[in-house]
Copies of this chain bind each other. A is one copy, B any other.
Amino acid sequence: MAERARGRRPGTSGTRELIERAARRQFAELGFDRASLRSVAQEAGVDPALVKHYFGTKPQLLVAVAELPVDPAVIVPVLLEGDRDEIGLRLARLLVGVLGQDEPRRRMMSIVRAAASEPEAAEMVRSFISERLFGPVAARLDADQPELRAALCGSQTVGLVLARYVVGIPALADVSQEQLVSALAPVYQRYLTEPL
């Protein structure tokens, strides 16, 4: 009755968590394409119909469990601290550093790959770029057209994930993090603060 009083069916919460944990692991380690509602259900020890019942389609499951590898509420204030002329450098260091780690990189790859064909994942990318990370940074920098600036930063970032990790262009896949930061920092700086 206590469960019902909080609007949940008995047992729901534990099962959902098992499914979410299995889904996070599979999207990260297998990627969006190879993970399936069935394989997630199997790992969680539940019936596939239950996964469908709670979460709907595979892209809806991705959206439900995907967490950005960085928390914008923490990261945006850190990025905005310090010299405005070095915001591009701080942003490039953050993104290249995050993408240099296995688990966050896989998570970003899953989201970008899914966004190419799934409207729900595309909406996550739009929100990440416009509302959560680049948008709030651009809005605080006192330059014209902050939405366009945020979108340009986002376009280079999703392009980097696609070209470096998904498509795997050799020269970009092999470059050191340090050199990639040097190449990208002035571009992010231009997009964020220089005349467009």
Q: Which residues of B contact A89 (CB under 8 A)?
A: none
Which secondary structure dominates where chain A touches chain B?
Answer: helix
* Contact B167 A158, beta carbon cutoff 8 Å: yes
Alpha-carbon gap, A125 to B117, bound state (A): 17
* Contact B159 A172, beta carbon cutoff 8 Å: no
Chain copies in the assembled complex:
2
The one of B130, B155, B166 in contact with A115, judged by C-beta atoms closer than 8 angstroms, is: B166
Alpha-carbon gap, A179 to B156, bound state (A): 17
Q: Which residues of B contact A193 (CB under 8 A)?
A: none
* Contact A130 B169, beta carbon cutoff 8 Å: yes
Query: Interface range on chain A: under 10, 10 to 19, 20 to 34, or 35 or more?
Result: 35 or more
Given A159-B159, A187-B187; A170-B130 close (CB under 8 Å): yes
Interface residues of A (CB under 8 A from B): 32-33, 112-113, 115-117, 122, 125-126, 129-130, 145, 147-148, 150-152, 154-160, 162-164, 166-172, 175, 179, 182-183, 186-187, 190-191, 196
